[in-house]
Amino acid sequence: MRISILDQSPISDGSTGADALRNTLDLARLADGLGFARYWVAEHHGTPMLACASPEVMIAAIGSVTHGIRIGSGGVMLPHYSPLKVAETFSILSALFPNRVDLGVGRAPGTDHSTAFALQRDRRQPAPDDFPQQLGELLGYLENRMPAGHPFARLTALPGRPYVPDVWLLGSSAQSALWAADNGLPYCFADFINPEGEAYARTYRQRFSASETLAEPRLIVACFAVCAETDEQAQRVASSARMTRALMNEGKLIPVPSIDRALRFLAERGPNPDTVSRPRRAIVGTPAVVKRGVEELAKLYGAEEAMILTTTYDHAARRRSYELIAEAFGLS
Protein backbone atom coordinates (compact mmCIF):
# COMPACT_ATOMS: atom_id res chain seq x y z
CA MET A 1 0.00 0.00 0.00
CA ARG A 2 1.22 3.48 -0.88
CA ILE A 3 1.56 5.98 1.98
CA SER A 4 1.45 9.74 1.41
CA ILE A 5 1.35 13.01 3.35
CA LEU A 6 -1.19 15.82 3.54
CA ASP A 7 0.25 19.01 5.03
CA GLN A 8 -1.92 21.90 6.21
CA SER A 9 1.12 24.01 7.29
CA PRO A 10 0.02 24.33 10.94
CA ILE A 11 1.03 27.47 12.86
CA SER A 12 2.14 26.73 16.41
CA ASP A 13 1.35 29.16 19.23
CA GLY A 14 4.21 31.61 19.55
CA SER A 15 5.43 31.07 15.99
CA THR A 16 4.51 32.70 12.67
CA GLY A 17 3.01 31.70 9.35
CA ALA A 18 6.46 32.11 7.82
CA ASP A 19 7.79 29.55 10.32
CA ALA A 20 5.01 27.16 9.33
CA LEU A 21 5.76 27.50 5.62
CA ARG A 22 9.45 26.83 6.21
CA ASN A 23 8.47 23.77 8.24
CA THR A 24 6.44 22.55 5.28
CA LEU A 25 9.51 22.72 3.04
CA ASP A 26 11.59 20.93 5.66
CA LEU A 27 9.00 18.18 6.05
CA ALA A 28 8.68 17.78 2.28
CA ARG A 29 12.44 17.20 1.98
CA LEU A 30 12.22 14.62 4.75
CA ALA A 31 9.24 12.88 3.12
CA ASP A 32 11.08 12.70 -0.20
CA GLY A 33 14.01 10.98 1.46
CA LEU A 34 11.83 8.61 3.48
CA GLY A 35 10.01 7.26 0.43
CA PHE A 36 6.48 8.61 0.81
CA ALA A 37 4.49 8.42 -2.43
CA ARG A 38 3.19 11.98 -2.63
CA TYR A 39 3.13 15.24 -0.69
CA TRP A 40 0.03 17.40 -0.93
CA VAL A 41 -0.54 20.85 0.55
CA ALA A 42 -3.95 22.17 1.55
CA GLU A 43 -5.66 25.50 0.92
CA HIS A 44 -7.09 27.51 3.81
CA HIS A 45 -7.80 31.22 4.14
CA GLY A 46 -8.18 33.67 7.00
CA THR A 47 -7.19 31.34 9.85
CA PRO A 48 -4.56 31.79 12.58
CA MET A 49 -4.00 28.01 12.64
CA LEU A 50 -3.01 27.13 9.05
CA ALA A 51 -0.58 29.04 6.85
CA CYS A 52 -1.01 27.73 3.31
CA ALA A 53 -3.42 29.98 1.42
CA SER A 54 -1.73 29.35 -1.94
CA PRO A 55 -0.97 25.68 -2.62
CA GLU A 56 0.36 26.41 -6.11
CA VAL A 57 3.11 28.63 -4.67
CA MET A 58 4.06 25.98 -2.13
CA ILE A 59 4.04 23.23 -4.77
CA ALA A 60 6.60 25.17 -6.79
CA ALA A 61 8.77 25.64 -3.72
CA ILE A 62 8.43 21.99 -2.69
CA GLY A 63 9.25 20.79 -6.17
CA SER A 64 12.46 22.79 -6.08
CA VAL A 65 13.71 21.11 -2.88
CA THR A 66 12.60 17.51 -3.63
CA HIS A 67 13.43 15.00 -6.32
CA GLY A 68 11.19 11.94 -6.68
CA ILE A 69 8.07 12.40 -4.56
CA ARG A 70 4.84 13.42 -6.29
CA ILE A 71 3.70 16.91 -5.28
CA GLY A 72 0.30 18.49 -5.43
CA SER A 73 -2.70 20.25 -3.96
CA GLY A 74 -4.97 18.78 -1.37
CA GLY A 75 -6.55 20.79 -2.71
CA VAL A 76 -7.32 23.81 -4.82
CA MET A 77 -10.76 25.11 -3.84
CA LEU A 78 -12.10 25.54 -7.35
CA PRO A 79 -15.12 27.80 -6.60
CA HIS A 80 -12.69 30.65 -5.83
CA TYR A 81 -11.02 30.57 -9.25
CA SER A 82 -11.31 30.65 -12.99
CA PRO A 83 -10.87 27.11 -14.34
CA LEU A 84 -8.56 28.49 -17.05
CA LYS A 85 -6.28 30.12 -14.48
CA VAL A 86 -6.05 26.85 -12.51
CA ALA A 87 -5.36 24.88 -15.70
CA GLU A 88 -2.60 27.27 -16.79
CA THR A 89 -0.98 27.36 -13.36
CA PHE A 90 -0.84 23.58 -13.00
CA SER A 91 0.23 23.20 -16.61
CA ILE A 92 3.29 25.32 -15.80
CA LEU A 93 3.96 23.37 -12.60
CA SER A 94 3.76 20.14 -14.59
CA ALA A 95 6.29 21.43 -17.11
CA LEU A 96 8.67 22.46 -14.32
CA PHE A 97 8.32 19.12 -12.51
CA PRO A 98 7.41 16.58 -15.22
CA ASN A 99 5.32 13.56 -14.22
CA ARG A 100 5.24 14.62 -10.57
CA VAL A 101 2.32 17.06 -10.21
CA ASP A 102 -1.17 16.26 -8.88
CA LEU A 103 -4.05 18.71 -9.05
CA GLY A 104 -6.49 17.86 -6.28
CA VAL A 105 -9.63 20.00 -6.53
CA GLY A 106 -12.43 20.48 -4.05
CA ARG A 107 -15.67 22.35 -3.70
CA ALA A 108 -15.36 23.50 -0.07
CA PRO A 109 -14.40 27.15 0.50
CA GLY A 110 -11.60 26.34 2.93
CA THR A 111 -12.70 29.27 5.09
CA ASP A 112 -15.69 31.12 6.55
CA HIS A 113 -18.38 32.81 4.44
CA SER A 114 -17.08 36.36 4.83
CA THR A 115 -13.54 35.39 3.83
CA ALA A 116 -14.89 33.43 0.87
CA PHE A 117 -16.76 36.56 -0.20
CA ALA A 118 -13.58 38.64 0.17
CA LEU A 119 -11.84 36.21 -2.22
CA GLN A 120 -14.38 36.98 -4.95
CA ARG A 121 -13.39 39.35 -7.73
CA ASP A 122 -17.01 40.42 -8.35
CA ARG A 123 -18.78 41.17 -5.07
CA ARG A 124 -22.06 42.44 -6.43
CA GLN A 125 -23.62 39.09 -5.53
CA PRO A 126 -22.52 35.75 -4.08
CA ALA A 127 -20.65 33.47 -6.48
CA PRO A 128 -22.87 30.87 -8.21
CA ASP A 129 -22.84 27.27 -7.02
CA ASP A 130 -21.71 25.80 -10.35
CA PHE A 131 -18.93 23.40 -9.34
CA PRO A 132 -19.87 20.67 -11.89
CA GLN A 133 -19.62 23.22 -14.71
CA GLN A 134 -16.31 24.53 -13.37
CA LEU A 135 -14.93 21.01 -13.13
CA GLY A 136 -16.03 20.19 -16.66
CA GLU A 137 -14.36 23.32 -18.02
CA LEU A 138 -11.15 22.58 -16.11
CA LEU A 139 -11.01 19.03 -17.49
CA GLY A 140 -11.73 20.37 -20.97
CA TYR A 141 -8.61 22.55 -20.84
CA LEU A 142 -6.33 19.93 -19.30
CA GLU A 143 -7.51 17.01 -21.42
CA ASN A 144 -7.68 19.06 -24.63
CA ARG A 145 -11.27 18.07 -25.30
CA MET A 146 -13.33 21.24 -25.46
CA PRO A 147 -16.40 20.67 -27.66
CA ALA A 148 -16.06 21.78 -31.26
CA GLY A 149 -17.16 25.36 -31.64
CA HIS A 150 -16.74 26.13 -27.92
CA PRO A 151 -15.65 29.79 -27.53
CA PHE A 152 -12.72 28.71 -25.32
CA ALA A 153 -11.56 25.79 -27.48
CA ARG A 154 -8.33 27.49 -28.58
CA LEU A 155 -7.32 27.94 -24.93
CA THR A 156 -6.51 24.25 -24.54
CA ALA A 157 -3.03 25.07 -25.89
CA LEU A 158 -1.70 25.32 -22.34
CA PRO A 159 1.79 26.71 -21.73
CA GLY A 160 3.23 23.59 -20.12
CA ARG A 161 2.21 21.02 -22.73
CA PRO A 162 2.92 18.21 -23.31
CA TYR A 163 2.90 17.92 -19.52
CA VAL A 164 -0.33 18.10 -17.53
CA PRO A 165 -1.13 17.22 -13.90
CA ASP A 166 -3.03 14.19 -12.70
CA VAL A 167 -6.43 15.49 -11.59
CA TRP A 168 -7.97 14.16 -8.37
CA LEU A 169 -11.36 15.02 -6.94
CA LEU A 170 -11.34 15.60 -3.19
CA GLY A 171 -14.33 15.28 -0.93
CA SER A 172 -16.03 14.10 2.22
CA SER A 173 -19.61 13.65 1.02
CA ALA A 174 -21.82 11.49 -1.16
CA GLN A 175 -21.99 14.18 -3.85
CA SER A 176 -18.23 14.35 -4.29
CA ALA A 177 -18.14 10.56 -4.73
CA LEU A 178 -20.71 10.85 -7.53
CA TRP A 179 -18.82 13.64 -9.29
CA ALA A 180 -15.59 11.64 -9.16
CA ALA A 181 -17.28 8.50 -10.47
CA ASP A 182 -19.22 10.21 -13.26
CA ASN A 183 -16.13 12.07 -14.51
CA GLY A 184 -13.86 9.02 -14.33
CA LEU A 185 -11.53 10.72 -11.86
CA PRO A 186 -9.42 9.32 -9.04
CA TYR A 187 -10.96 10.20 -5.69
CA CYS A 188 -9.48 11.20 -2.33
CA PHE A 189 -11.87 10.94 0.61
CA ALA A 190 -11.17 13.00 3.75
CA ASP A 191 -11.90 10.55 6.56
CA PHE A 192 -10.37 13.03 9.01
CA ILE A 193 -13.33 15.31 8.24
CA ASN A 194 -16.05 12.68 7.91
CA PRO A 195 -15.32 9.19 9.29
CA GLU A 196 -18.55 7.83 7.81
CA GLY A 197 -17.32 7.62 4.23
CA GLU A 198 -17.24 3.86 3.68
CA ALA A 199 -20.58 3.88 1.86
CA TYR A 200 -19.51 6.83 -0.30
CA ALA A 201 -16.33 5.02 -1.30
CA ARG A 202 -18.39 2.00 -2.25
CA THR A 203 -20.72 4.19 -4.32
CA TYR A 204 -17.70 5.68 -6.09
CA ARG A 205 -16.35 2.26 -7.06
CA GLN A 206 -19.74 0.89 -8.13
CA ARG A 207 -20.73 3.91 -10.21
CA PHE A 208 -17.30 4.64 -11.69
CA SER A 209 -17.32 5.38 -15.42
CA ALA A 210 -14.01 4.84 -17.20
CA SER A 211 -12.47 7.92 -18.80
CA GLU A 212 -9.64 8.54 -21.24
CA THR A 213 -7.27 9.06 -18.33
CA LEU A 214 -8.46 6.37 -15.90
CA ALA A 215 -9.79 2.91 -16.68
CA GLU A 216 -10.52 1.72 -13.12
CA PRO A 217 -11.54 3.50 -9.91
CA ARG A 218 -8.65 4.75 -7.81
CA LEU A 219 -9.11 5.80 -4.21
CA ILE A 220 -7.03 7.47 -1.50
CA VAL A 221 -8.30 7.71 2.07
CA ALA A 222 -6.88 10.68 3.98
CA CYS A 223 -6.70 10.21 7.75
CA PHE A 224 -5.34 11.89 10.87
CA ALA A 225 -2.52 10.08 12.69
CA VAL A 226 0.17 10.76 15.27
CA CYS A 227 2.97 8.30 15.94
CA ALA A 228 5.57 8.17 18.72
CA GLU A 229 7.78 5.61 20.44
CA THR A 230 5.17 4.91 23.14
CA ASP A 231 1.39 5.15 23.26
CA GLU A 232 1.59 7.58 26.17
CA GLN A 233 3.95 9.87 24.29
CA ALA A 234 1.78 9.75 21.17
CA GLN A 235 -1.31 10.70 23.17
CA ARG A 236 0.56 13.63 24.72
CA VAL A 237 1.73 14.87 21.31
CA ALA A 238 -1.79 14.48 19.88
CA SER A 239 -3.33 16.56 22.68
CA SER A 240 -2.53 19.81 20.83
CA ALA A 241 -4.58 18.74 17.81
CA ARG A 242 -7.39 17.51 20.06
CA MET A 243 -7.67 20.94 21.64
CA THR A 244 -7.76 22.69 18.26
CA ARG A 245 -10.49 20.29 17.07
CA ALA A 246 -12.57 20.86 20.19
CA LEU A 247 -12.45 24.63 19.74
CA MET A 248 -12.97 24.33 15.98
CA ASN A 249 -16.22 22.49 16.74
CA GLU A 250 -17.26 25.66 18.59
CA GLY A 251 -16.25 27.92 15.72
CA LYS A 252 -13.02 29.06 17.38
CA LEU A 253 -9.72 28.90 15.50
CA ILE A 254 -6.44 29.21 17.37
CA PRO A 255 -2.76 28.52 16.66
CA VAL A 256 -1.76 24.97 17.61
CA PRO A 257 -1.31 25.07 21.42
CA SER A 258 1.55 23.65 23.45
CA ILE A 259 1.16 20.18 24.95
CA ASP A 260 0.98 21.53 28.51
CA ARG A 261 -1.73 24.01 27.60
CA ALA A 262 -3.66 21.37 25.69
CA LEU A 263 -3.46 18.85 28.51
CA ARG A 264 -4.85 21.42 30.96
CA PHE A 265 -7.66 22.25 28.54
CA LEU A 266 -8.55 18.59 28.01
CA ALA A 267 -8.47 17.91 31.75
CA GLU A 268 -10.94 20.74 32.34
CA ARG A 269 -13.26 19.80 29.45
CA GLY A 270 -13.50 16.06 30.13
CA PRO A 271 -12.25 12.95 28.32
CA ASN A 272 -13.55 13.59 24.79
CA PRO A 273 -14.27 17.28 24.19
CA ASP A 274 -13.14 17.09 20.57
CA THR A 275 -15.62 14.37 19.59
CA VAL A 276 -18.82 15.39 21.40
CA SER A 277 -20.53 17.40 18.64
CA ARG A 278 -18.66 16.18 15.59
CA PRO A 279 -16.98 12.77 15.89
CA ARG A 280 -13.54 12.55 14.30
CA ARG A 281 -11.29 9.55 13.79
CA ALA A 282 -7.69 9.73 14.95
CA ILE A 283 -5.05 6.99 14.79
CA VAL A 284 -2.65 7.61 17.66
CA GLY A 285 0.04 5.36 19.12
CA THR A 286 3.22 3.43 18.52
CA PRO A 287 4.37 2.51 15.00
CA ALA A 288 2.65 -0.87 15.25
CA VAL A 289 -0.61 0.73 16.40
CA VAL A 290 -0.59 3.36 13.66
CA LYS A 291 0.35 0.86 10.96
CA ARG A 292 -2.48 -1.44 11.97
CA GLY A 293 -4.96 1.43 12.18
CA VAL A 294 -4.04 2.84 8.78
CA GLU A 295 -4.18 -0.58 7.14
CA GLU A 296 -7.59 -1.30 8.67
CA LEU A 297 -8.90 2.06 7.51
CA ALA A 298 -7.62 1.53 3.96
CA LYS A 299 -9.26 -1.90 3.90
CA LEU A 300 -12.53 -0.41 5.16
CA TYR A 301 -12.55 2.06 2.26
CA GLY A 302 -11.11 -0.29 -0.32
CA ALA A 303 -8.35 2.29 -0.82
CA GLU A 304 -5.07 1.58 -2.58
CA GLU A 305 -3.36 4.43 -0.77
CA ALA A 306 -3.51 6.20 2.58
CA MET A 307 -2.65 9.87 3.01
CA ILE A 308 -1.69 10.88 6.54
CA LEU A 309 -2.31 14.27 8.13
CA THR A 310 -0.36 14.99 11.31
CA THR A 311 -0.71 18.16 13.36
CA THR A 312 1.61 18.77 16.32
CA TYR A 313 2.81 21.75 18.33
CA ASP A 314 6.47 20.87 17.94
CA HIS A 315 7.76 20.48 14.39
CA ALA A 316 10.34 17.93 15.56
CA ALA A 317 7.51 15.73 16.86
CA ARG A 318 5.79 15.87 13.46
CA ARG A 319 9.02 14.92 11.71
CA ARG A 320 9.52 12.04 14.13
CA SER A 321 5.96 10.82 13.64
CA TYR A 322 6.46 10.51 9.89
CA GLU A 323 9.88 8.88 10.35
CA LEU A 324 8.32 6.18 12.53
CA ILE A 325 5.45 5.68 10.08
CA ALA A 326 7.86 5.32 7.17
CA GLU A 327 9.86 2.74 9.12
CA ALA A 328 6.71 0.83 10.14
CA PHE A 329 5.54 0.55 6.53
CA GLY A 330 9.01 -0.24 5.21
CA LEU A 331 9.17 2.77 2.90
CA SER A 332 12.43 3.50 1.13
Domain with residue 119: its CATH number is 3.20.20.30
Question: 185 phi and psi, to 5 degrees?
Answer: -105, 150
pTM value? 0.94
Examine residue 262 and state whether it is found in any structural domain, yes or no: no
Examine residue 299 and state whether it is found in any structural domain, yes or no: yes
Examine residue 45 and state whether it is found in any structural domain, yes or no: yes
Pairing between β-strand 2-7 and β-strand 305-309 as defined by DSSP bridges: parallel
Residues of the chain under the 70 pLDDT cut: 110, 271, 275-279
pLDDT of residue 112: 76
Distance from the first to the final alpha carbon of the chain: 13
CB atoms within 10 A of CB 126: 11
pLDDT of residue 101: 98
Examine residue 122 and state whether it is found in any structural domain, yes or no: yes
Quickly list DSSP for 266-313: HHHH-S-TTSSSS----EEESHHHHHHHHHHHHHHHT-SEEEEE---S
Examine residue 238 and state whether it is found in any structural domain, yes or no: no
Examine residue 255 and state whether it is found in any structural domain, yes or no: no
Examine residue 163 and state whether it is found in any structural domain, yes or no: yes
pLDDT of residue 122: 79
Examine residue 179 and state whether it is found in any structural domain, yes or no: yes
List, as own/partner pairs, every contact residues 171-174 make where C-beta atoms lie below 8 angstroms and the sequence separation is at least 24, other chains included.
Answer: 171/106, 171/107, 171/200, 172/197, 173/200, 174/199, 174/200, 174/203
Q: What is the number of domains present in the chain? A: 1
CA 106, CA 76: separation in Å to the nearest integer? 6
Tens digits of residue pLDDT in 265-324: 999 987 677 765 556 789 999 999 999 999 999 999 999 999 999 999 999 999 999 999
Give me the domain span that covers residue 292: 2-224+283-329
pLDDT of residue 132: 93
Question: 215 phi and psi, to 5 degrees?
Answer: -90, -30
Helix and strand numbers (H, E) in the chain are 11, 9
